[in-house]
Amino acid sequence: MTTVLTGAERRALRRAVGLLGLSRRRLALSVAAGSLSLMSAVALAGVASWLIARASQMPDVVALGVAPAAVRLFGISRPLMRYCERLASHDTALRGMSTLRTRLYEILATSRTDVVVGLRRGDVLARVGADVDSVGDLVVRALLPMSVALVLGVSTSLGLGLIHPPAGFVVAVCLLVSGIGGPLVTARAARRAEIARQEQATDLSATVLAAVEGGAELSVSGRMPGLMEDLARLERHLAASRDAAARPAALAASIDTAAMGAAVLGNLVVGSAAVASGELAPVLLAVVVLVPLSAFEASSALGPATVQLITSAGAAVRLIELVERAEASATAAPAARPLPAADPQGPRLVARDLAVGWPGGPVVAEGISLSLAPGDRLAVIGPSGAGKTTLLLTLAGLLPPRSGELTLDGAQPWGAERAEVAGRVTLTAEDAHVFDTTVLENLRVANGALDRAGAVAVLARAGLGSWLASLPQGLDTRIGSDATTLSGGERRRLLLARALAAPAALMLLDEPGEHLDPATADRLVKDLLGATGPGRSQRGPEHPAPGGDRQRGVLLVTHRLSALAGADEVIVLGAPAPGPPARVERRGPHAELVATDRSYGWALEQETEGDDRGDD
């Protein structure tokens, strides 16, 4: 059946099946149970036809022998073996899908950040979701039916050959026509339909994600109707692709039916001649004529199995493409090195004349120098596209510096052991995901060893003490998908609590106040910078310092200037003209920039006036 696949598809499918880690014992058990189930059906047809033909001769009951008991045996064993086959095959497939997803995540975790970020979210979802399922479905819907059809076809042909060799030969030829001709017809048309369906399914996933995650913004901007029209168009095309794949399947079914009819008629001809010549007992004529009706049950599943084979091969190609990109990025990177021991005062992150950008892309910001240690409070501001997020990813060791020097405790974080870097530097992106699980498990994303007391403490430090007390099940309260049950401020503070739960002493935060109202955003940024924390002034019990008794180093990217009074230094990025990389235009304490830099003071003035107009 692999003749319906290209060389690239066969290679990808072999590797993807290898990543499933299938148990040969379970797979063999599935094939054995499936074969026994259909063999029981064939045997039931043979014994029942013999019993009916023999009974028509009205012999003594004792002459029927054990045939009535055999009918009951095969009648019961068929569904029983079918049930066992389903249990074994689905257990094998589900274990394989779990193993494949685990290995895929492990491979992606060791790859460069741009391997996944360079893909659309809908594409990533399709690959780690539907594509993994398609590869796993290969076991139940392709490998198993093909193996069972082979075993049943050989055993049925041999069994009939023992009764009457020409009858076995006729059935074998018809089974070959059905098992090869039908799937080949299916494969040709199904390939075109499946390729179109796969492309449209990826577009459909991306469009649905855009509608779900940006529904409010799209509705306000008036773009939601257009998006829904695109979604309807994709669904119509997807339905048309499914119909196109169903037509060759119907043709394959007709070939199977025709082959079965030919086997019955062929055996009737050769069987009648054998009865007339005395080579075959009249009672056995019913057996050789009626048994093919059950023997073709296995071959009828080969058409859908071929479609599944093509589907799984396409999914395997996309998965292995992603795996190979991840492996290539990991191979190209130098071997991971352990970090030196941190200073007793805590880790220190130092950048000197740093240039940042995505691998293979342009430099987006350069000439950046900074130092971050526990207790330091730094803020980076600049226009959109100035490279602020890219800077954070580089500082966290997720992207390599384009030039300049970047060290974490004297060693480069890029290329160091990820677990060691994450133990010293934590990054929380502005679009960090909130999972559809409990409050406690959302915090354990950053620290799997976090206990309940620690979770309560970090929530209180993030200003969520009263919120936690109001929850019906406390830490065990389930949060809706992507934090739909939380307000914007609660979501941001939950992400802050997750960052505080991490063991790292240095925190990198991307736009923590984004999409919040000005007052809430300023309160959050002030909390992060510890503008009223220990050593500056006292907090109330509801708003302790974010770092508690353990001061952390904080570097945050923000567009809000009014909350930066607590920053030790504000770094202002700006591009001098369209095209060139952004550079550090100004830097210094917030108060100094307000007093000495006219453009900074003007921007703060405009921000304050805008907030006042919003309040009015």
| pLDDT tops 70 at residue 296 | yes
Task: Indicate the pLDDT class of residue 78, thresholds 50, 70 and 90.
Answer: very high
CB-based burial label for 615 (10 Å; 0-12, 13-18, 19+): exposed
Calculate the average pLDDT of the chain: 82
How far apart are the C-alpha atoms of 533 and 538, rounded to whole Å? 6
List the beta bridge partners of residue 583: 574
> For residue 375, which amino acid is it?
G
What mean pLDDT do residues 270-277 have?
A: 92
How confident is the model over 546-586, as pLDDT tens digits? 344 347 899 999 888 888 888 899 999 886 566 688 889 88
**Which carries the bigger pLDDT value, residue 303 or residue 538?**
303
Domains in the chain: ranges and CATH: 2-325 (1.20.1560.10)
344-378 as b/e: b if 16+ CB within 10 A: eebbbbbbeebbbbbeeeebbbbbbebebbbbbbb
How many Cα atoms sit within 13 Å of 54 on the Cβ side? 19
Q: What is the mean pLDDT of residues 575-600?
A: 83
Report which secondary-structure segment, H or E, holds 516.
Answer: none
Tell me, what's the pLDDT at 25? 92
Indicate the SS3 state at residue 397.
coil
Closest of 270, 269, 316, 260 to residue 293, by C-alpha: 260
Q: 517-535: per-residue pLDDT in tens?
A: 777 777 778 877 874 333 3
Task: Quote the pLDDT of residue 197.
Answer: 59
Average pLDDT of span 384-398: 86
Look at residues 359, 355, 310 and name the one whose alpha carbon lies nearest to residue 118: 359
- With a cut of 50, say whether residue 162 has pLDDT above it: yes
Q: Are 497 and 462 in contact (CB under 8 A)?
A: yes
Q: pLDDT grade, residue 433 (50/70/90)?
A: confident
Q: What is the DSSP letter of 399?
A: S
Residues contacting residue 203 through CB under 8 Å, at least 6 positions apart? 122, 234
Model confidence over 307-345: pLDDT tens digits?
888 888 888 988 888 888 887 766 665 556 777 887 778
Instruction: Please tell me the predicted confidence (pLDDT) of residue 117.
Output: 62
Q: From the centroid of its chain, how far is CA 468?
A: 31
Is residue 85 a contact partner of residue 38, using CB atoms and an 8 Å limit? no
Provide the pLDDT confidence category of residue 195 given band limits of 50, 70 and 90. Answer: low
- Report whether 86 contacts 80 (CB < 8 A): no
Residue 508, H or E segment: strand 506-510
Residue-level pLDDT at 332 = 60
Residue with tokens 């609590």: 497
Q: Which two tokens stand for residue 7?
A: 């060389």
d(CA 74, CA 31): 18
Closest CA to 464 of 433, 429, 440: 440
The token duo for 489 is: 């401020």
The average pLDDT across 347-365 equals 88
Judge contact between 299 and 259, C-beta under 8 A: yes
- Separation of alpha carbons 262 and 250, rounded Å: 18
Q: Per-residue pLDDT for 470 more than 80?
A: yes
Q: What is the pLDDT of residue 9?
A: 85
Mean pLDDT computed over 251-266: 87
| Cα–Cα distances in angstroms (integers) from residue 380 to residues 214, 371, 386, 590, in the given order | 27, 13, 11, 11
Task: Output the pLDDT for position 335.
Answer: 58
Cβ atoms within 10 Å of 196's Cβ, excluding its own: 16
> For the chain, what percent of residues have pLDDT higher than 70?
83
Rounded alpha-carbon distances, angstroms, from residue 49 to 45, 296, 330, 611: 6, 17, 64, 89
pLDDT at 125 over 70: no
Ramachandran region of residue 408, left (φ > 0), alpha (ψ -120 to 50) or beta?
beta
Report the distance separating Cα 473 and Cα 496, nearest Å: 21
Of 125-129, 167-171, 375-379, the range with the lowest mean pLDDT is 125-129
pLDDT of residue 163: 92
DSSP 428: E
Helix residue spans in 432-480 (DSSP H): 439-443, 452-461, 465-470
Contacts 24+ apart (CB under 8 A), 11-16: 11/320, 12/313, 12/316, 12/317, 12/319, 12/320, 12/321, 13/135, 13/138, 13/312, 13/313, 13/316, 15/316, 15/320, 15/323, 16/100, 16/135, 16/312, 16/315, 16/316, 16/319, 16/320
pLDDT of residue 324: 85
79, 109 contact by CB (below 8 A): no
Under 8 Å CB-to-CB from 516, ≥6 apart: which residues? 488, 489, 492, 524
Specify whether the CB–CB gap between 127 and 318 falls below 8 A.
Answer: yes
Mean pLDDT value across residues 499-519: 82
Mean of pLDDT values over 401-428:
84
pLDDT category at 287 given cuts 50, 70, 90 is very high
What is the amino acid identity at position 605? E
pLDDT of amino acid 308:
86
pLDDT of residue 546: 39
Query: Are the C-beta atoms of residues 145 and 302 closer than 8 Å to each other?
Result: yes
Q: What per-residue confidence (pLDDT) applies to 40?
A: 94
β-strand pairing of 365-372 with 349-356: antiparallel
* β-bridge mates for residue 377, sequence order: 554
pLDDT average, residue stretch 457-470: 87
Q: Which residue has the tokens 């093509």?
A: 310
Mean pLDDT confidence for 208-233:
76
pLDDT higher than 70, residue 356:
yes
